[in-house]
Amino acid sequence: MTQILICTVGGSHQPIVTAINDLRPDFVLFICTDKDPATGRPGSVVQITGSGNCIKAEPKDDKPSLPNIPAQTGLTPEQYDLCTTLSDDLDQIYADCNRALDGLVRRFPNASIMADYTGGTKSMSAGLVMAAMERQDIQLQLVTGSRADLIKVHDGSQYAALANIEHIRFERQISPYRQAWSRFAYGEAEAGLKDIKAPGSAQLRSRFTRFRDLSRAFAEWDNFNHQTALDLLQNYAPGLPNELRAYLSIAMRLRDQRPEKREPAQLLDLYLNARRRAAQGRYDDAVARVYRLIEWTAQWLLKSHCGIDTSNIAKAEIPAGMELTANREGIYQAGLFQAWQLVKVKTQGAAAEFIKAEEKNLLNQIKSRNQSILAHGFEPVQQSHWLQLADWLERLFLPMLLIESRRVGIKDMPPQLPQSYDL
Long-range contacts of the stretch 226-232 (C-beta < 8 A, 24+): 226/251, 226/254, 226/255, 226/269, 227/255, 230/254, 230/255
Look at residue 228 in the predicted model and tell me its pLDDT. Answer: 97
The lowest-confidence range among 84-98, 130-144, 313-327 is 313-327
Distance separating alpha carbons of residues 144 and 234, to the nearest angstrom = 47
- What residues does each domain of the chain span? 3-163, 178-255, 270-423
pLDDT of 151 reads: 43
Contact 214, 421 (CB under 8 A): yes
Measured at the alpha carbon of residue 35, what is the angle toward residues 30 and 41, in degrees to the nearest 5?
125
Q: What is the mean pLDDT of residues 45-51?
A: 92
Q: Is the pLDDT of residue 100 over 70?
A: yes
Q: Mean pLDDT lowest for which of 42-46, 289-293, 308-312, 318-322?
A: 318-322
Supply the CATH classification number for the domain 3-163: 3.40.50.10770
Residue 370 has pLDDT above 80, yes or no: no
For residue 340, pLDDT over 80 is answered with yes
pLDDT tens for each residue of 81-91: 999 999 999 99
At residue 157, the pLDDT reads 44
Closest CA to 164 of 121, 195, 133: 133
Least confident of 44-58, 313-327, 371-385: 371-385
Q: pLDDT band for position 374 (50/70/90)?
A: low
What is the average pLDDT score of the chain? Answer: 90
**What is the structure's pLDDT at 274?**
98
Cβ proximity of 69 and 9 under 8 Å: yes
What is the average per-residue pLDDT within 14-39? Answer: 89
Residue 261 has pLDDT above 90, yes or no: no
Output the pLDDT for position 393: 96
pLDDT digits (tens, 9 = 90+) for 160-175: 787 888 888 899 999 9
Dump pLDDT digits (tens) for 57-97: 888 888 989 999 999 999 999 999 999 999 999 999 999 99
161/140 Cα distance (integer angstroms) = 9
